[in-house]
Structure 1
Amino acid sequence: MFSNSKSQFLRNLAFAGAALVLAGCSTTPTTSRVAETTAAPLDGTALTLEQMYSTRDYSPRGVPPTRWLADGSGYTTLEAADAGRDLVRYHPETQARTVLVSAQELTPRGWDEPLAVADYHWSEDASKLLIFTNTKRSWRTHTLGDYWVFDLASRQLSQLGTFAEPSTLQFAKFDPAGTRVAYVMQNNIYVERLSDGKITQLTTDGDDTIVNGTFDWVNEEEFFLRDGFRWSPDGESIAYWQLDTEGTPIFTMINNTDALYPTLKTFPYPKVGETNAAMRIGVMPADGGETTWMKVPGDPRQHYLVRMQWAGNSEQLFIQQLTRSQAVNRAFLANANNGEVAEVVRETTESWAEYVDDVQFIDNGDAFTWLSERSGFRHLYRIDRDSGRATAITRGNWDVVEVLQINEEQGWVYFIASPDTPLERYLLRASLDGSGKLERLTPAQAGTHGYQLSADAQYAVHTYSSAEQVPQIDMISLPDHQRIRMIQDNAEVQARIDDLAKGEFEFFQVNARDGLALDGFLMKPANFDPNKEYPIVFYVYGEPWGQTVSNSWGGERFLWHTYLTQQGYIVASIDNRGTRSPRGYDWRRSIYKNLGVVTVRDQYDALQAMLERWSFIDADRVAIWGHSGGGSQTLNALFRYPDAYHVGIALAPVPDLTLYDTIYQERYSGLLPEAAESYRETSAITHAANLQGDLLLVHGTGDDNVHFQGSERLVNELVKHGKQFEFFAYPNRTHGINEGEGTTLHLRTMMTDFLREHLPLGAQPQ
């Protein structure tokens, strides 16, 4: 999914060593600093781009990786010490602090400094600690690195996989007994015995095309499939995915700047309509032996095995399979000994079906939990293992956003939802017995609440934010939701935010042409005068993997938008239909085969409704910008409604939808060849000849997600039609356009300069 965070969706933007590529430019983008001035003195602190991007003055702090101990004795986290960071435990109720592992103990023999801990995990009995360090990217995430084990009884620190090159191990996991660790190295699976360091190589066929225990680019990105193996509950077997990427077309990227001569990066990347990797799932003994392959039906290149887990025992697997169109999700129980499978549940749609994370087997394995949109909203069900009969656990005209914990002993499921407004997130719990009993545990505090629950659900690490409140992190008790300890209040940062010169921030709703209500936010300029007209800048994402209008802290983007309001701009955003707002099945599926059409029509309708409602918006000074999917929507807005949008900034867009990957684009746009006309109509490049306004197009040449190729094709199309625009290429920057010193400052400065030049400031009489 190409998101401004994908997944991630959301967060970063970028700089350059700066290869400036100009294609039919009307003006050259300046790299000089934008003037940090406003029309009138501000009532509050004025932001500067330099301060925003060269200091941490406005950056709230989070907490290092936090883990609850299974025995309920507390939670652990990393805290600064003289020599590095200690691993400490806090008692959940008293908050008594104990150093479990000191930084000195995390210093390997002969080293001057302790390990830089990127992440860590406990064995089930909490007697051993698994440490992930020295990480680097595999595809888009840091899954490669080194692993060390610290034994709390012997106080010994030892490295795993010492035979391997540095930073080549992935996904190390303790077995259930905590006596062995399995990991992936160069597409093969290994098991290492901790007592004597004996290493057993379980698979031997891993190479450039056969992938064991991990995944290719597209499955990692779109299905979040990274860790590709599972220990059985009894520790006797390991189940794993195997991919065969032979036949998947190879994409090549060129690096012109890091060496005297260009270097190439190649990897399998299936674009729309091309050949996918073949997927299969097997089970093998954990001490080595033959693999038993699960006999899941269907062409392995025309189906996706999207989820796999042990089915509440060590004899069966639970496997979810999507058709290539993703319209059908079938769940199977597979016999680990002979590979025979039986279908137990099926979800069929006319668009795309959702796979289900964290299925849990309950009632001594006689049933399992399942998320479904069959009622028109996403709810949790109990599925009988033998009959497939479904019983609703949650119900109502609202969506379950995320299941946090299913506590069978207590009889509760804990989950995130927002029954009253899609803009916020709260903790609720429902009775597992299907009685419909529902309790909201989050108090009446408007905003977005996140939780990391202890195993017994009596305590939680709680994170709260709102549109103008930076994240606060505290320890609470449940179900009373009482604070035990503030972990991170970010008070200094909040004080700086509160001191900023700001206009009014408000949420609002307007209707699309068919009467559908659309959520939006509006940020008025500092020194706002309701009797004057102001230019407006819209921020858009508009794709199924993002929600721009929510009562949560917006981070760097919110600060840059605040900076624009200090310059005299109105800033707004609209969530069109199809965005990841918890508004039900019909809302999300309404954009099927209509990305770029109905999505941008909603944006246009919202603009017209806002112009009718608020006379202080200048209809002749309208800009729109977005990143990734938002960049695509920006292009569509400029090309489809050239009289309404006068300025656009498109970062890392997909102008031609056939250039994106199979999993994401075919899910929302259909399969070729039958959907060929739909792809043509919904791609922004098809309508490039309509450009009238001022366009700034920005892309990183090292973008392995949304390829630079797409912007190059758009450049050719615009040149063909004699359209003037500005184009900036960031050498070797990836999709976030954020690598390299000064990149984000450079990008935001360029964007600000472009707006100031092409969207004139100044409040005008109405």
Structure 2
Amino acid sequence: MRKALILAGLATLSQPVAAAIQSAPLTLERIFGDKAIPIDQVEGGEWTADGSGYDAIEPSKAVAGGTDLVRYDVARNARTVLVAAGDLVVPATGKPIAIQSYAWSADGKRLLIFTNGTRFRRTRALGDYWLFDVAARTLRRVGGDAPPASLMYAAFSPDGSRIAYVRANNLYVEPSAGDAPPRQLTRDGNDLIVNGLGDWVYEEEFYLRKAWSWSPDSRTIAFWRFDTSGVGTFYMISNTMGQYSKPIPLQYPKVGTTNSAVRVGTIDVASGATRWIGLTGDPRQNYVPQMSWAGTSGKVFLQYANRLQNTYNLLLADPASGTTKPVFVERDAAWVEANGDPTWLDGGKRFTWLSERDGWRHLYVASSDGKTPSLRTPGRFDVVSLLLVDEARGWAWFTASPDNPTQRYLYRATLTGKPRVERVTPAGQAGTHGYDIAPGAHWARHTVSAIDRAPVTEMIDLTTQAPVRVLARNAALQDEIAHEPIGPTEFTRLDLGKGVSVDAWIMKPAGFDPAKRYPVLFQVYGEPWGQTVADAWGGNTALWHRMLAERGYIVASIDPRGTNTPRGRDWRKSIYRRLGVVGPEDYAAGVRKLIAERPYIDPARIGIWGWSGGGSSTLHAMFRFPELFKTGIAVAAVSDQMLYDTIYQERYMGLPADNAAGYKAGSPITYAAGLAGNLLVIHGTGDDNVHYQNLEQLEDRLIAANKPFTMMAYPDRTHGIYEKPGTSLHLYSLMTRYLETNLPPGGR
């Protein structure tokens, strides 16, 4: 399904702001409150198949609570209403269907609408689907007598004749024409057997949500089946829903424990017969991170990984027999990253593949017959993300930044012949550039920002790089930045010795006087999943940092080894089996380097904060380097690596039976007795990712060591701690007060 598209008020985004915001001090209310600084955004806007325009969901002016589906022609700047809210009124209720996402049939005659989205794990994937006939202007609810908000991941077959979806952990199919009832394709789905959608850990770590797909000829469905019966059950407890607590069970495989047993099958839609693909090895000790149809070849392509995730077997499967044949094997001494669905070329004879086999993340074109893949992006740089493969014109479009890992630019590379790489983003536009490229690569939505520059989104002609029109200007936000009493953020690289250097940024306080000494608050992440030292706008967190700078703090960040920056394989994988060991040591060395080189940093007032992996890094800093870090705030931290999930933790640390010392050394709880400074720990009790038990087990260890600390539990909030009114304002108010009390601002 296509996701919700352009936000309300798009038509006004290009209008000038009536009056410049005065240079009033930033406050928490102006960042997180009801009257926060307005932020202009563009979400989605699905391109048409020919790339000439895009569709968008917009609030209806004629029908209260309704939405229109409109189409914009880019070249003509013309807007056409395709489906009006008045066409989507349910006769039985008289109420309009509010489109949340949608999909067109291949012939454009029918529209599949998702509405009434209800939360399922991290997304509102449960909901209702309606089928709209464009010519007849009629509506039909998909799913027959299914209960409200009970369907997931519905999709047309490629020929548009059928719709398939997941209901109660089983796959169903029904015709898109007529009123024939749904037909159930799998029958063993229950609370522990899951067909057609990923289990918790596959969704979290492999991004597998919709776990099924139509064959190109519309005759077969390929799908994952998860048997979670052997997986340990973790119970979260809700205490805010009434007089009694409510246990919330979750099948969550923690480090070293049993995974789901995973099978991949194909269903002949006409007969309903299922054929299982033959995969060798224990289904609980191997992973299938990705599966897709190999172009029009009729074969199923699988990435099949061992539990250590250092060996990926690429396989082609015959759906009729279930037999497989190898394509090639991708290996790494540390770990291999799963590829997203590859783009198939030549009708399924070749496909795109990202690999670090030469020490850099590069684009290859691989052959389905197992021949050596062809390198298409040679050089000492990383492909950050592959955006579009245009087989007809022979180009692959991707983002990279060969000279500065804190920035991102657009490049393209040839798919055949002698490799040729060209930079597309014009010179002189420093920062981070993102692109949503239309089919045919003529038009693109282009967003550019920098650490001190608000994001601007514009439609551009990609053939000339000329802007066509502005979609989101963010004039109010940029005016705020321009009138702040702080100087430009400085980027630097710190030499830590022994061939190790790390990137950093430093934001100096208002009224900065180099003759004085100031407190520093370091933001940290420090794990393989992210990057904090980026020349890109950082959202509300960036505004909070700027507010702290206005109040007299230096704010800074360092990216230690192992973070997901485009500095090559060796940089990223130097932390293998030492996650939580190398990063904190680099951070401490970097902070010492800054103190030695910059006399305006007050060594008695060094603070650190981070979220998730950054919370873990904060705990390491406070426990292992108490002479350096005086105040820390750890949000949603993993305190013991043994409490996290199999796929993530074992990917970077190996199996605990083979690396017990590494797991102990990498877990901040090991060093809890070293706490000497001020520590605030924060966690959501409903965190299904990093469980609240991390906080309680850490508290237990700190209490045993008689170490004072401060803690805050947010009831029923998840890993993002944002649910329910006022949560973000309360959270950042708490952190601000804690800093001002324990890490006093201002120069001395």
- Name the SS of the counterpart of 2:642 in structure 1: helix
How many angstroms apart in 1 are the aligned matches of 2:408 and 2:144? 45
1:594 paired with 2:569, answer no
Task: Look up the match of 1:107.
Answer: 89
Task: Look up the match of 2:674.
Answer: 690
2:56 aligned to which of 77, 94, 108: 77
1:633 paired with 2:598, answer no
1:237 paired with 2:220, answer yes
Q: How far did 1:384 drift?
A: 2.0
Q: How far did 1:118 drift?
A: 2.1
Q: How far did 1:366 drift?
A: 2.2
Task: Look up the match of 1:176.
Answer: 158
Letter in structure 2 aligned against 1:131? I
- Name the SS of the counterpart of 2:87 in structure 1: coil
How many angstroms apart in 1 are the aligned matches of 2:166 and 2:268? 16
2:288 aligned to which of 272, 289, 305: 305
Contact persistence 1:191–1:200 (CA under 8 A): yes
How many angstroms apart in 2 are the aligned matches of 1:364 and 1:703? 44
Contact persistence 2:317–2:325 (CA under 8 A): yes
Task: Look up the match of 1:119.
Answer: 101
Q: How far did 1:61 drift?
A: 2.3
1:140 paired with 2:117, answer no
Task: Look up the match of 1:429.
Answer: 412
1:268 aligned to which of 229, 241, 251: 251
Q: How far did 1:51 drift?
A: 2.1
Over the aligned positions, Cα root-mean-square deviation in angstroms equals 1.5
Task: Look up the match of 1:322.
Answer: 305
User: 1:426 and 1:504, CA in 2 relative to 1: closer, same or farther beyond 3 A?
Assistant: closer
Out of 342-351 and 227-236, give the one that drifted further: 342-351
Q: How far did 1:313 drift?
A: 2.3
Contact persistence 1:518–1:575 (CA under 8 A): yes
Q: How far did 1:248 drift?
A: 0.6
Letter in structure 1 aligned against 2:136? S
2:346 aligned to which of 333, 348, 363: 363
Q: How far did 1:512 drift?
A: 2.1
How many angstroms apart in 2 are the aligned matches of 1:387 and 1:629? 38
Matches within 5 A, 1:525-544: 525-544=509-528
How many angstroms apart in 1 are the aligned matches of 2:317 and 2:158? 21
Task: Look up the match of 1:493.
Answer: 477
Letter in structure 2 aligned against 1:320? Q
User: 1:470 and 1:120, CA in 2 relative to 1: closer, same or farther beyond 3 A?
Assistant: farther
Matches within 5 A, 1:305-704: 305-313=288-296, 315-444=298-427, 445-704=429-688
- Name the SS of the counterpart of 1:557 in structure 2: helix
Q: How far did 1:314 drift?
A: 5.4
Contact persistence 1:399–1:418 (CA under 8 A): yes
Q: How far did 1:735 drift?
A: 0.7
1:60 aligned to which of 26, 39, 42: 39
Task: Look up the match of 1:36.
Answer: none
Unaligned runs of 5+ in 2: 1-21
Q: How far did 1:63 drift?
A: 2.3
Letter in structure 2 aligned against 1:513? G
1:281 paired with 2:264, answer yes
Q: Deviations over 1:537-587 (max 9, x none)?
A: 000011111110111110010011011111100000011111111111101
Task: Look up the match of 2:112.
Answer: 130
Q: How far did 1:81 drift?
A: 3.0
Q: Deviations over 1:52-83 (max 9, x none)?
A: 21135424222243111113442111233313
1:720 paired with 2:704, answer yes
- Name the SS of the counterpart of 2:594 in structure 1: helix
1:216 paired with 2:199, answer yes
Q: How far did 1:302 drift?
A: 0.2
How many angstroms apart in 1 are the aligned matches of 2:619 and 2:323? 50
TM-score, length of structure 2 as denominator length: 0.94
How many angstroms apart in 1 are the aligned matches of 2:367 and 2:742? 62
User: 1:538 and 1:487, CA in 2 relative to 1: closer, same or farther beyond 3 A?
Assistant: same
Q: Taking CA–CA contacts closer than 8 Å with sequence separation of 6 or more, which of the two structures ends up with the larger relative contact order? A: 1
2:142 aligned to which of 149, 160, 174: 160
Contact persistence 2:314–2:328 (CA under 8 A): yes
- Name the SS of the counterpart of 1:664 in structure 2: helix
Matches within 5 A, 1:76-95: 76-82=55-61, 83=63, 84-95=66-77
Contact persistence 1:503–1:565 (CA under 8 A): no
Q: How far did 1:739 drift?
A: 1.1
How many angstroms apart in 1 are the aligned matches of 2:35 and 2:583? 36
Task: Look up the match of 1:9.
Answer: none
Q: Deviations over 1:81-109 (max 9, x none)?
A: 31343221111212211111112223322
Contact persistence 1:234–1:314 (CA under 8 A): no
1:50 paired with 2:34, answer no
- Name the SS of the counterpart of 2:273 in structure 1: coil
Q: How far did 1:287 drift?
A: 2.9
Letter in structure 1 aligned against 2:171? I
Task: Look up the match of 1:11.
Answer: none
- Name the SS of the counterpart of 1:143 in structure 2: strand
User: 1:455 and 1:251, CA in 2 relative to 1: closer, same or farther beyond 3 A?
Assistant: same
How many angstroms apart in 1 are the aligned matches of 2:263 and 2:351? 23
- Name the SS of the counterpart of 2:701 in structure 1: helix
Q: How far did 1:730 drift?
A: 1.1
How many angstroms apart in 2 are the aligned matches of 1:395 and 1:159? 51
Letter in structure 2 aligned against 1:530? P
Contact persistence 1:65–1:78 (CA under 8 A): no
- Name the SS of the counterpart of 1:365 in structure 2: coil
How many angstroms apart in 1 are the aligned matches of 2:671 and 2:292? 46
Letter in structure 2 aligned against 1:378? R
- Name the SS of the counterpart of 1:371 in structure 2: strand
Contact persistence 1:65–1:119 (CA under 8 A): no
Task: Look up the match of 2:8.
Answer: none
Q: How far did 1:358 drift?
A: 2.5
Q: How far did 1:479 drift?
A: 2.3
- Name the SS of the counterpart of 2:517 in structure 1: strand
Q: How far did 1:502 drift?
A: 2.5
TM-score, length of structure 1 as denominator length: 0.92
Contact persistence 1:295–1:339 (CA under 8 A): yes
Q: How far did 1:711 drift?
A: 0.9
Task: Look up the match of 1:710.
Answer: 694
Letter in structure 2 aligned against 1:713? Q
- Name the SS of the counterpart of 1:605 in structure 2: helix
Unaligned runs of 5+ in 1: 1-42
1:753 paired with 2:737, answer yes
